[in-house]
Amino acid sequence: MKKSILFAALAVTASLAIWASVTYPRVGGEVLHLASSIETKIYGLHRAEVNISDSRMMSWQGGPQEAKETVVMIHGYSSEKTVWMRFASHFTDSYRVLILDLPGHGETAFDPALQYDTVSQARRVVEAMDALNIKRAHIIGNSMGGFIAAQLALHHAERVQSAVLIDAAGVVAPQESDMAKMLASGRNPFEIHNRDEFIEFYAMTMAQPPYLPKMILDYMADDYIVRRESLTRIFQDFHNSDFLDARLSEIHVPVLILWGERDRLLHISSAAVWQSGIANAELITYSNLGHMPMLEAPSQSAEDVLTFLAKHP
């Protein structure tokens, strides 16, 4: 009888442990999505689908539809629209705002038949603008999104009122970043196999990350693990895009460069390459921030961008 009770107790304990391991990160995801939903409503953003030729892109949109100027925000590789949420709240009073989930990211599905190089992604941004009857916009991009913003400024200048490049990929850095050293050794920090690897990677993305409870970080880690194969394919397309060093002088739209000096993914030395290559480009750096200033210091970085946009109506 005692053995039966013991075995039953062990079985219940094991079942609870399995249930907890499965549901715990899922709860973290639900908490994250609920919090994002509440915040976006507070900030005047709403979720909307944008249909283009090869994708059904999810977005957040906000601000007055009759606004004279529009701001389009483009996330980086492996990221999604949520990174812009608090930053975007500073724009919705005066600007129409469009925040996209690029194909293969966030709520926009990955399709192995698509190309994910920055020229192709830039074309999709233009198609999204067409679908929403946006003739011109201020384009703000972070990391890969900055590379895409620069491609838009280069190939679709008539659609770009100004471009803001935040820790942008797309040029050869004079000095190697921590990520560049890892890639040279044969390891891609974005390819996550377990939660410990994610924590190591997450520490590289920001110097001043917003607080997130462990269950949300574990949910994010599991999501990276599930998406590893698709992210690897996207990275290959994106990373094999031709860099823009030799073509920077062809960019003639107003450009603002923002950079966190503690960026471990893309070295701060890249900022000078962008600035010296693009005529009249402005540069602002943040000594205490990393790769994602718009997420680490949304109010400060938004104020700097708003000041820049005011000069280029």
pLDDT tens, residue by residue, 134-188: 999 999 999 999 999 999 999 999 999 999 999 999 999 999 999 999 999 999 9
Indicate whether 208 pLDDT > 60. Answer: yes
What DSSP line would sit under the chain, residue for residue?
-HHHHHHHHHHHHHHHHHHHHHHHHHHHHHHHHHHHHHHHHHTTEEEEEEE-SS-EEEEEEES-TT-S-EEEEE--TT--GGGGHHHHTTTTTTSEEEEE--TTBTTBPP-TTS--SHHHHHHHHHHHHHHTT---EEEEEETHHHHHHHHHHHH-GGGEEEEEEES--SS--SS--HHHHHHHTT--TT---SHHHHHHHHHHH-SSPPP--HHHHHHHHHHHHHTHHHHHHHHHHHHTSPP-GGGGGG--S-EEEEEETT-SSS-THHHHHHHHHSTT-EEEEETT--S-HHHHSHHHHHHHHHHHHHT--
Closest CA to 75 of 269, 274, 291: 291
Q: Work out whether the CA dihedral 203, 209, 211, 213 comes out positive or negative.
A: negative
> What does the pLDDT read at residue 20?
38
Instruction: Tell me what the mean pLDDT of segment 194-211 comes to.
Output: 95
* Sole residue written with tokens 């539809």: 65
Strands 96-100 and 137-142: unpaired
pLDDT in the model for residue 212: 85
Residues 6+ apart with CB under 8 A from 290: 204, 205, 206, 207, 208, 260, 262, 263, 264, 265, 296
d(CA 99, CA 116): 18
* 70-74 and 137-142 strand pairing: parallel
User: Residue 310, Cβ neighbours under 10 Å: how many?
Assistant: 9
Q: What is the pLDDT of residues 266-294, one digit of tens each?
A: 999 999 999 999 999 999 999 999 999 99
The yes-or-no verdict on residue 16 having pLDDT over 50 is no
Percent of all residues in the chain with a pLDDT value above 70, rounded to a whole number: 89
Domain 29-310 = CATH 3.40.50.1820:
yes
Cα–Cα distance list, 37 to 22, 91, 111, 284, 297 (Å) = 23, 18, 26, 31, 21
Evaluate if residue 250 carries a pLDDT over 80. yes
Global pTM reads: 0.90
Residue % of the chain over a pLDDT of 90: 80
| Boundaries of every domain in the chain | 29-310
pLDDT for residue 242 is more than 50: yes
Burial of 81 (0-12, 13-18, 19+ CB in 10 A): buried
Q: What is the mean pLDDT of residues 13-26?
A: 42
Q: According to the model, what pLDDT value does residue 240 have?
A: 83
More confident residue, 38 or 120: 120
Q: What is the mean pLDDT of the chain?
A: 90
Give the whole-angstrom CA distance, residue 148 versus residue 102: 11
CA 40, CA 162: separation in Å to the nearest integer? 25
For the cut 50, the answer to whether the pLDDT of residue 4 exceeds it is no
pLDDT, tens digit, for every residue of 23-45? 455 665 565 666 677 887 888 99
